[in-house]
Structure 1
Amino acid sequence: MGAEGGLRERKKLQTRAALADAALRLALEKGPDNVTVEEIAEAADVSVRTFFNYFPHKEHAILGRNPEHLERALDRMRTAPAEESPLTTMWFVVQDVLRDLESDGQLSRRGELIMSSPTLLYQLMMSSFDDERQLTAALAIRMGEPAGSVRTALIVSAAGAACRVAMDLHKNAPDRPVVELVREGFQLLAHGIDPAFDQRGIS
């Protein structure tokens, strides 16, 4: 049963990857608004019904959304060493997702496509907000902070913002890899974006 279960999981991963690859390829060729679910399913050699077993709509397929990313992130949040800083944990979470998205060699092209499409950008923002709410709740538990903690929400959302900013900047600076731009964003967050900020203005 173990071997059979492992084979099923591998097949699921392969099918999800085939659908995401087909969706991205077609979106790059025709534009995301001109691609249909039927075309994506046909290109991946699966049925439309199978498509909806993996993605709720074509935009998630083009984005390469994978529920396992959030599951792994939440698990990483729960099992992080006690001495690991919250921002460091978020870096490992983001690094894991970027590594997975980079595995098909299309991270940069996907990022450029997303930033050029209002529909894809909206879907990315909406799905990111939902992920961030769950990660914030998990981080609050880990840090022993109450629900509604500004600090935990800010750590998680700032990490997400670093990724979105990196994708946008990469569009105008394609020679700088997205991962490099994300890393720079995290370094700025870690050291303080504006250490000279005059707090008297908000006291």
Structure 2
Amino acid sequence: MTVGAPGLRERKKQRTREALIDAALDLFGNKGFEATTVDEIADAVEVSSRTFFRYFASKEDVVISLMAQQWADIYDELDRRPADEPVLTALWRACLIVLRVYEADGMSPNSSKFACLAQLVQDSPSVLARSLELCSQQNDALARRLAQRMGVDPITDPRPGLVAAVGATALQVAIRAWREHEPDKRVSELADRAFELLQGGINYPAATA
């Protein structure tokens, strides 16, 4: 059976969900996460708080849903990579494709929305806790995908988990470099640099006296 385009009801639900996300991020940026209420987010979209809770279980879930979508996009692209491509290269290419698509579509990680997400993780203990929980879950999910590509068991073979962890760290290093030191560069450029360093190996020599 061929699945058609989303119906009117589904499109309306998606628009409401996106409007709630946009309103929440605007309020978080202007008032701060802790000071913003669910009622204020709902009022900004002219819906009830009950409607908000149909889409999100909490304020934290608004932020986490965006992060989860970013991971889902990376997984989709990773699944499209050639089956014989080395796993770090496949992950590297998948991440760059996703970042560049965001940038081309005007959803750049360099946008205010992305900056707001990064700031929320830094400033809000509850968002940070949920973010760390999500990262742990996603690292496990990514390790399983990489293990499948390698034809190994991720429980007994530590390599998929190691690649997943260092790959996620490469992205975090790129984002931090953009936020703190190189805001004039694209996150995709900085991620490309980080993965290239990983590809070359990280057993750097010690300084000589």
Scaled by the length of structure 1, the TM-score of the pair is 0.78
CA distance in 2, matches of 1:67, 1:145: 26
State the match for 2:197 in structure 1. Answer: 188
**Is the Cα contact below 8 Å between 1:166 and 1:178 reproduced in 2?**
yes
- The one-letter code matched in structure 2 to 1:156 is A
Q: Does 1:154 align with 2:162?
A: yes
The SS at the match of 1:82 is: coil
CA distance in 2, matches of 1:9, 1:72: 20
Q: Does 1:103 align with 2:107?
A: yes
Q: How does 1:45-194 map to 2 (within 5 A)?
A: 45-63=46-64, 65=66, 67-95=68-96, 98=99, 99-100=101-102, 103=107, 105-106=111-112, 107-148=114-155, 149-173=157-181, 174-194=183-203
Deviation >6 Å, runs of 4+ = none
Identical counterparts, % of pairs: 36
Q: Does 1:2 align with 2:4?
A: yes
CA distance in 2, matches of 1:7, 1:85: 42
CA distance in 2, matches of 1:96, 1:50: 35
CA distance in 1, matches of 2:118, 2:97: 17
RMSD: 2.9
Q: Which runs of 5+ in 2 are unaligned?
A: none
CA distance in 2, matches of 1:36, 1:96: 36
The SS at the match of 1:145 is: coil
CA distance in 2, matches of 1:161, 1:12: 34
- The one-letter code matched in structure 1 to 2:170 is A
Q: Which has the higher helix share?
A: 1
**Is the Cα contact below 8 Å between 1:77 and 1:139 reproduced in 2?**
no
The SS at the match of 1:35 is: coil
Scaled by the length of structure 2, the TM-score of the pair is 0.76
**Is the Cα contact below 8 Å between 2:96 and 2:192 reproduced in 1?**
no
The SS at the match of 1:34 is: coil
Deviation at 1:144, TM superposition (A): 0.3
CA distance in 2, matches of 1:81, 1:8: 37
